[in-house]
Amino acid sequence: MRKQKGMTIIAILVFAFLFLPLLLIVVTSFGTAAAIQFPIKGFTLDWYGNALRSETMLESFKLSLIVGLLATILALLVGVPASYALARYTVKGKNLIKSFFLSPTVIPGIVVGYTLFQFIVVALGLPVFQGLLIGHFLISLPYIIRVVGSSMDQLDYSMEEVAWTLGCTRFRAFMQIVLPNVSSGIFAAFMLAFVNSFNNVPVSMFLSGPGVTMLPTSLLSYMEYNYDPTVSAISVMLMLLTIGLMYLIEKTLGLASIA
The pLDDT tens digits for 160-187 are 888 888 888 889 999 988 998 888 888 8
Q: DSSP character for 29? A: T
End-to-end CA distance of the chain: 30
Residue 1, pLDDT > 70, answer: no
Element (H, E) at 255: helix 255-258
In degrees and rounded to multiples of 5, residue 209 shows phi and psi of -145, -175
The mean pLDDT of 194-217, rounded to a whole number, is 84
Q: Where does the pLDDT of residue 241 fall: very low under 50, low under 70, confident under 90, or very high at 90 and above?
A: confident
Element (H, E) at 151: helix 128-154
Q: DSSP character for 208? A: -
Instruction: Report pTM.
Output: 0.81
pLDDT at 81: 92
CB atoms within 10 A of CB 228: 18
Residue 257, pLDDT > 60, answer: no
pLDDT at 118: 84
pLDDT tens-digit readout, 58-108:
999 999 999 999 999 999 999 999 999 988 888 777 778 877 777 777 778
- In 3D, which of 241, 235, 231 has the Cα closest to residue 191? 241
Is the separation of the CB atoms in 47 and 28 below 8 Å?
no
> What is the C-alpha separation between 163 and 156, in angstroms, rounded?
13
Residue 256, pLDDT > 60, answer: no
Residue 252, pLDDT > 80, answer: no
